């Protein structure tokens, strides 16, 4: 196909040229005298992104799924109880993993499109007099539904009940794009990965653990693990190295990514995501007259919008035509919402015109299958919003 | 600025990744045993693009301006007379060059926005009983106004008068994007360059000479020249080499470009440009209600559209805001139309959504300075056209 | 430092340009319609490299250490017994991992520099009447000592005793460089990774399991695991996808790597490594008069040579000067041989002159600290060998 | 062929990764508001490299041959007389160009391998009472013979005779590698190009003109020229732009190159070239016992060594085998020394081990055709020199 490919799945996101240059530099020895400078630079800058002073960041060659496992196996032991909510595909998968790793899960069911039900977490914690619940799990930004949940609220709920549970957060599609504050929110383990807000290819699980998680929990965990064992990583990282061969291109890419994020300023990064998302939402609602999967105000994600299909239309057909006719990759509805929604990722290295292209292509594909949206309407609504908002 | 840069000047155009990879491969010896394979491959494939069997293609490290000089200095001598029309910035510059090189020019004036006046060429040729006119010069696609002229018609005019004049063509923004037929049209010298339809960076003058130009004219030219002397190039190319160090990255890039063009098929390339341009024109006319600089039907360029500003508005301000606010590069109005039009290039490696982005950005910038175009209207008109037209 | 960096650690190896181009191509959706073609192509070609028809290849975002864990946790359960030999740093680490994962290990101690003691494995297997031993582990090429062991011999030993133990092989620094034959040697699980013979950066654990390992063992394993759970990978791979976001750059790089390996022909790849290693060994022995760590004839590795220091000299000082003065990265002596040897990796995309550079740099660094080797002697011996041997 | 290609022709030289990254960045509009910053940065830094305060630097898409033409056609008119010496292939070609452009040339013949005969220039200038000679041409570093001539000496000779001739210098293979001082040496026009010491691909003619050349000569030149007309370039450059589309990748590459050169420090760059060349010369003389084409002490080039073949051996055969068997590109003997010498370029981004590889490969190829040089001898002599000399 001619022309550029427009990638609007909610990760992997487009990799900027300077990061790709860092990635594609020639190999080096990961045991060289110079190597520790890279290790320390990356791990220190990551703490700024996680907004933690006392926590500790970790980088593993793995996917975000590996990041979940790092969080669970280094803080919990088989038989431990955790509490978690089922609000979408990825929160479900994390719960499934808990079970595979031998954890007991108190599951809070909710409609897809709802945020994590903080009050119901609190009810359960209140009832848990013996602090059997070792950790509360929450998905900060459920990528399958485009819903952002209230992590700080969950911490308040835990604290309100005087509960000792750790707070473990899936921040895969929020961290580095939406405000996240490890220390202020009392997060004990946060999981991110490379291919979202960090603007890198997939391949790195990026996590951060609180002092409490490392000292009180990690040291007594009985879960067998080797590759993902944090203690080995801590000991090696302290010397500037890794316990096994790290992915040099990804570490260099991460350094370049962190430099970009910190140069732009995290608050500016968040504001940019919020502003761009605002235009997309106006395009969907005011332009096309379509609904988001996210229901409540204040929970609509700044990194991904899940667009509900009108009755009788199959979102997979929209996605297929967008790909084949317009060189546009949209995100599919996953598992139980397959066919019922498609997703536009709006995170990472992005601007207004890229989103105009995405909205135009999605609109053309929807019209191709007979959905009656007004031509140009999403671009009109989004662009007028951006114009009004842009100084 | 965040996100990708949208480059919509009518050259340089966006370089596709595979071509950039070819360009950035490690250096090699240009006198190696393997080198001739590259030379011959490029020069042979170029003949297919120029659509010539008997002509000969040349590649020089130079800009398109250098290409004009190659055409003039290798076929004409100081004091020779040529005929040419002034229909825009680039046809003017070529005429200026003729004068600097000591040629006499019969100049045909026309309004910018008009095509080259074939009938007036014919009148002059008819009057030139002694064949004092050695060459007729024409700009196939005047990039400053977005006007395509009738090269085949000029050849017919020459032949109708039984005139011996050569036909020299500036095909800088047409060749490899709009149909061009060296042999069928009896073109004696065609000038192209790398940064337009060939999807390469600037740096190569790509020209093609007819047998007649080489045999009857080149050999007796008295213009002093060295770097651009074709005879040296011919002798070196015949052995597979160059008379001076060639730009290896650009030759490799050109090979990759030619492979793309011939793999897609020239007719498909032309049809794609025509189809994409059709959408842009509908966006401008039916969406925004604005005029093109190109006046006559059938002369509106498939590679660049020059959009006239409504009275009271400065196109340079549109361009400035598009750049600063929307990361979009539009083409300026050059010399006497500065401020009165801006240009959108639509050539090279391009698709619908890239143009939706460009139209959206131009629209936002126009609205920012108060031009009353309807939001989303250009995308609406263009995208409906492309949808209807796309199989 | 000026000029190119010479990377001669035994992994990561130099990434050829075409592979790096594949790695640095723009991102795509890993759930697209086109994606399965990449998945199937890579997994099918991998089977050719592992030389298996009935086995199954797997690619995980992980390091080689992750590959070990994949092999162990998908075939064995806590409490199971395995037999393994300690012949160097990496075979030791694998044994340590076994223990962490709750396995019982029958450990065969040997001097570093020795190959895996096949006869002692056989003795133990012979004594194990009840087939308590579930698997025999062997390091095909111990990277820390430059010793290649007899995998086929270990299979024969198992079979000679009529034992049911699986054969698990660390082929990290052998596969794709030294002959390895999954099916012929009856290997049940083979572990490789991206940054050695595959000429990629680190980041992928590349493994292959036999039908028996998958059917008889994998399905009943009780080791808790999620990220590395093969059953999920099998189900997703069968549809052409992955159970979590794969590293697109690395998959594309792996496809390019496999194309290179199969285009060159595996036998030619092995012969090239053998021939280049032969020159290096002659340089070390006949040129410098130094010993390899590898003792026995027939066990000297074709991918890495570990060079013993004369008494009184510290190999870390050689490595430090090679790095700082000559832009050359040599491999260090690991754990108990730290300071006593340094290593030259000779695997991947390599040729004679690259090795001449490495030998020259190592020689200069050795002379700098006073080791009395004759200037030019290693290059002399190696180059004469290569000349005589080259057709 | 496996492994890296070793490029040791005296240009093009190896392009460092950071420069290649600059070259392969996405295209931009060359008429944008931001563009002048690039233009001014490059032209200002170039003046530092040419060591001129009052001169003016120019960058054209062209080869070095184009640079010669820029120098001649912008300072001289047809019929003017110049004086020049024939001391090798490139000085010959420049003289040929003079003749083609209608200049009269007083030619000083010398043996290839000799430096430019300053005293004979002076004799001629002394006899030229009427100052008919408008310019003295000299090749600072004759690339075909590896001989450096005394530019400052020629200026002294001109001044000693109170002559008004301009001093035009071919610095193609010296500038940015060997000390060159435009102002101190009273050079009026210096010609360089991108693919030598600037570590870029071929494609840019880089020149510098003195105030006198521009004011007293350029303004009255009668040579017809357009593409290479400096006055247009001056006017456009003054505004930060170019009179025709510049090669953006090469300008960006040049900026990166200049940053490297000035960061390393010109004196350090020159010292590094001198030191590396010293090792190569010792390898050739003390190791192999072969002669350089350069005869006199003090004229042996720090950027290229031309190695004379013993009687009965054909250098083209050495070059052919080096290419085919060892992936090494050596420079050929040009025109009348074809077969009698081969050349090793030692300029640009280079270090000791790269040269060890080159010397090893040349040695192997020489031994392959039966030249009796001692194996390892060049590496031995060179590396011992570098070791002794390295702090």
- Does B334 reside within a domain? yes
Which positions ≥6 away from A127 have C-beta within 8 Å? none
Give how many domains chain B has, as a whole number: 2
Of D353, D360, D374, the CB nearest to C328: D353
Last residue of a domain, one of D211, D241, D263: D263
Both B141 and B269 in one domain: the answer is no
Last residue of a domain, one of C236, C263, C290: C263
The confidence score (pLDDT) of residue A391 equals 44
**Rounded to the nearest 10 degrees, how much is the dihedral formed by the CA atoms of C124, C125, C129, C130?**
110
Tens of pLDDT, residues D262-294: 999 999 999 999 999 999 999 999 999 999 999
A338 contacts on C by Cβ (under 8 Å): none
Residue C1 pLDDT grade (very low, low, confident, very high; cuts 50, 70, 90): confident
Both A32 and A63 in one domain: the answer is yes
D378 contacts on C by Cβ (under 8 Å): 376
Tens of pLDDT, residues D84-101: 999 999 999 999 999 999
The confidence score (pLDDT) of residue C219 equals 87
Helices (H) and strands (E) in chain B, counts: 13, 13
| pLDDT surpasses 70 at C125 | yes
Both D293 and D310 in one domain: the answer is yes
Contact between residue B61 and residue B200 where contact means Cβ atoms under 8 Å apart: no
Q: b or e along D70-83 (b: 16 or more beta carbons within 10 Å of the residue's beta carbon)?
A: bbbbbbbbeebbbb
Residue C391 pLDDT grade (very low, low, confident, very high; cuts 50, 70, 90): very low
Question: How much of chain A exceeds pLDDT 70, in percent?
Answer: 99
- Choice between A216 and C336, residue whose per-residue pLDDT is larger: C336
The confidence score (pLDDT) of residue A192 equals 98
Both A351 and A225 in one domain: the answer is no
| Least Cα separation, residue A231 to chain C (angstroms) | 12
Test A363 with B378 for CB contact under 8 angstroms.
Answer: no
Q: Select from A149, A156, A204, A154 the least CA-distant residue to A171.
A: A149
What mean pLDDT, rounded, does chain B reach?
Answer: 97
Test C356 with D356 for CB contact under 8 angstroms.
Answer: yes
Distances (CA, A) of C337 to B58, C36, C288, D327: 62, 46, 20, 36
| Least Cα separation, residue A273 to chain C (angstroms) | 20
- 3-class DSSP state of A249: helix
- Does B1 reside within a domain? no
Average pLDDT of the residues in C185-193: 98
Structure tokens at B259: 């492979």
- Does C1 reside within a domain? no
Find the length of chain A.
391
Contact between residue C344 and residue C382 where contact means Cβ atoms under 8 Å apart: no
In B248-351, alpha helices (H): 248-264, 266-282, 315-326
Which positions ≥6 away from A262 have C-beta within 8 Å? A45, A48, A49
| pLDDT surpasses 90 at C390 | no
Both B292 and B199 in one domain: the answer is no
For B78-104, the DSSP string reads TT-EEEEEE-SHHHHHHHHHHHHTT-E
Structure tokens at D266: 């010109």
Both D365 and D378 in one domain: the answer is yes
Q: b or e along A318-339 (b: 16 or more beta carbons within 10 Å of the residue's beta carbon)?
A: bbbbbbebbbbbbbbbbeebeb
Residue C222 pLDDT grade (very low, low, confident, very high; cuts 50, 70, 90): very high
Give the Cα separation of C61 and C317 in Å (integer).
35
Structure tokens at C219: 């399905």
Both D54 and D84 in one domain: the answer is yes
Both D251 and D309 in one domain: the answer is no
**CATH number assigned to the domain comprising residue C293:** 3.90.1150.10
Chains that touch D (3 or more CB pairs under 8 A): A, B, C
Test D357 with C356 for CB contact under 8 angstroms.
Answer: yes
| pLDDT surpasses 50 at B191 | yes
The D-side interface with C (CB below 8 A) comprises 1-4, 6, 14, 264, 272, 287, 325-328, 349-354, 356-358, 360-361, 363-364, 367-368, 374-381, 383-384, 386-387, 390
Average pLDDT of the residues in C308-313: 98
Average pLDDT of the residues in C308-327: 98
Burial of residue D102 (CB within 10 Å: 0-12, 13-18, 19+) is middle
Chains that touch B (3 or more CB pairs under 8 A): A, C, D
Half-sphere exposure of B53 (CA within 13 A, CB side): 1
Contact between residue A191 and residue A213 where contact means Cβ atoms under 8 Å apart: no
Report ipTM for this prediction.
Answer: 0.96
| Least Cα separation, residue B294 to chain A (angstroms) | 26
A27 contacts on D by Cβ (under 8 Å): none
What's the domain range around A166? 18-263
- Does B292 reside within a domain? yes
- Does D1 reside within a domain? no
- Does C382 reside within a domain? yes
Give the Cα separation of B243 and B246 in Å (integer).
8
| pLDDT surpasses 80 at C296 | yes
| pLDDT surpasses 60 at B60 | yes
Dump strand ranges (E) for chain D: 6-8, 56-61, 81-86, 104-109, 133-139, 141-142, 147-148, 166-170, 189-193, 204-209, 304-308, 328-332, 341-345
Give the Cα separation of D358 and D383 in Å (integer).
13
Relative to beta strand D147-148, strand D141-142 is antiparallel
The confidence score (pLDDT) of residue A390 equals 55
| Least Cα separation, residue C27 to chain A (angstroms) | 6
| pLDDT surpasses 70 at B391 | no
Give the Cα separation of D214 and D238 in Å (integer).
14
| pLDDT surpasses 60 at B208 | yes
CA angle A200, A205, A207 (to 5 degrees): 115
Q: Which residue of A has its CA nearest to D26?
A: A17
Q: Which helix (H) or strand (E) holds D367?
A: helix D352-368
Residue D390 pLDDT grade (very low, low, confident, very high; cuts 50, 70, 90): low
Give the Cα separation of B66 and B101 in Å (integer).
13
User: Which long-range contacts link D30-33 to residues 24+ away (Cβ below 8 Å)?
Assistant: D30/B12, D30/B202, D30/D241, D30/D242, D30/D245, D30/D246, D30/D248, D31/B9, D31/B331, D31/B332, D31/D241, D32/B323, D32/B329, D33/B320, D33/B323, D33/B324
Contact between residue C74 and residue C205 where contact means Cβ atoms under 8 Å apart: no
Both A332 and A370 in one domain: the answer is yes
Tens of pLDDT, residues C45-85: 999 999 999 999 999 999 999 999 999 999 999 999 999 99
- Does A1 reside within a domain? no
Contact between residue C59 and residue C39 where contact means Cβ atoms under 8 Å apart: no
Q: Which residue of A has its CA nearest to C329?
A: A29
- 3-class DSSP state of C255: helix
Both A239 and A303 in one domain: the answer is no
Contact between residue A177 and residue A196 where contact means Cβ atoms under 8 Å apart: yes
Test D201 with B31 for CB contact under 8 angstroms.
Answer: no
Both D34 and D170 in one domain: the answer is yes
Both B219 and B339 in one domain: the answer is no
Residue D391 pLDDT grade (very low, low, confident, very high; cuts 50, 70, 90): very low
Could you tell me what percentage of chain A is helix, strand and coil, using 3-state DSSP and rounding each to the nearest 5?
A: 45, 15, 40
Give the Cα separation of C29 and A60 in Å (integer).
22
**CATH number assigned to the domain comprising residue A148:** 3.40.640.10
C139 phi/psi in degrees, rounded to 5: -100, 110
Tens of pLDDT, residues D222-252: 999 999 999 999 999 999 999 999 999 999 9
The confidence score (pLDDT) of residue C335 equals 96
D21 contacts on A by Cβ (under 8 Å): 21
Which positions ≥6 away from B364 have C-beta within 8 Å? A352, A383, A386, A387, B322, B325, B326
Which positions ≥6 away from A370 have C-beta within 8 Å? A313
For D80-139, the DSSP string reads -EEEEEE-SHHHHHHHHHHHHTT-EEEEEE--BTBPP-HHHHHHHHHH-TT--EEEEEEE
- Does B282 reside within a domain? yes
The confidence score (pLDDT) of residue D219 equals 87
Structure tokens at C200: 């990629």
Test D287 with C376 for CB contact under 8 angstroms.
Answer: yes
| Least Cα separation, residue A324 to chain B (angstroms) | 11
D55 phi/psi in degrees, rounded to 5: -80, -175
Q: Which residue of A has its CA nearest to C90?
A: A244
Give Cα A335 to chain centroid, integer Å.
Answer: 18
Average pLDDT of the residues in A108-117: 98
Contact between residue B23 and residue B264 where contact means Cβ atoms under 8 Å apart: no
The confidence score (pLDDT) of residue A167 equals 98
Last residue of a domain, one of A263, A293, A317: A263
User: If you compute the radius of gyration of chain C from its CA atoms, what whole number of angstroms results?
Assistant: 21
Of B325, B358, B387, the CB nearest to A390: B325
| Least Cα separation, residue A331 to chain B (angstroms) | 17
Structure tokens at C42: 């890579």
């Amino acid at each position: 196909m001619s022309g550029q490919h427009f990638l609007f799945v909610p990760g992997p996101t487009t990799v900027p040229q300077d990061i790709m240059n860092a990635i594609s530099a020639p190999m080096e020895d990961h045991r060289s005298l110079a190597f520790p400078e890279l290790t320390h630079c990356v791990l220190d800058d990551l703490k700024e992104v996680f907004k933690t002073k006392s926590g500790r960041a970790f980088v593993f060659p793995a996917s975000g799924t590996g990041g979940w496992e790092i969080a669970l196996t280094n803080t919990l032991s088989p038989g431990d109880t955790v509490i978690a909510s089922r609000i979408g595909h990825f929160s479900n998968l994390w719960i499934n993993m808990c079970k595979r790793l031998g954890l007991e899960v108190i599951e809070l069911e909710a409609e897809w499109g709802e945020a994590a039900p903080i009050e119901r977490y609190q009810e359960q914690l209140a009832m848990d007099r013996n602090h059997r619940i070792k950790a509360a799990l929450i998905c900060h930004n459920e990528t399958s539904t485009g819903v952002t949940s209230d992590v700080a609220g969950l911490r308040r709920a835990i604290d309100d009940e005087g509960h000792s549970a750790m707070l473990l957060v899936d921040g895969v599609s929020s961290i580095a794009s939406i405000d996240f504050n490890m220390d202020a929110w009392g997060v004990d383990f946060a999981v991110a990965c490379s291919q979202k807000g960090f603007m890198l290819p997939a391949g790195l699980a990026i996590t951060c653990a609180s002092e409490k998680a490392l000292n009180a929990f990690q040291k007594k965990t009985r879960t067998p693990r080797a590759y993902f064992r944090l203690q080995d990583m801590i000991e090696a990282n302290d010397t500037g190295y890794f316990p096994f061969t790290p992915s040099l291109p990804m570490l260099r890419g991460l350094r370049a990514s962190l430099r970009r994020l910190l140069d732009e300023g995290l608050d500016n990064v968040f504001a940019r995501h919020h502003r761009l998302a605002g235009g997309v939402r106006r395009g969907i609602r005011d332009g096309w007259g379509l609904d988001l999967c996210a229901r409540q105000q204040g929970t609509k994600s700044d990194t991904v919008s899940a667009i509900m299909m009108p009755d009788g239309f199959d979102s997979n057909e929209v996605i297929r035509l967008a790909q084949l006719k317009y060189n546009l990759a949209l995100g599919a509805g996953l598992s139980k919402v397959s066919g019922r929604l498609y997703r536009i990722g709006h995170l990472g290295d992005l601007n207004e015109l890229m989103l105009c292209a995405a909205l135009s292509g999605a609109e053309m594909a929807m019209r191709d299958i007979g959905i009656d949206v007004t031509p140009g309407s999403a671009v009109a609504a989004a662009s007028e919003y951006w114009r009004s908002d842009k100084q």
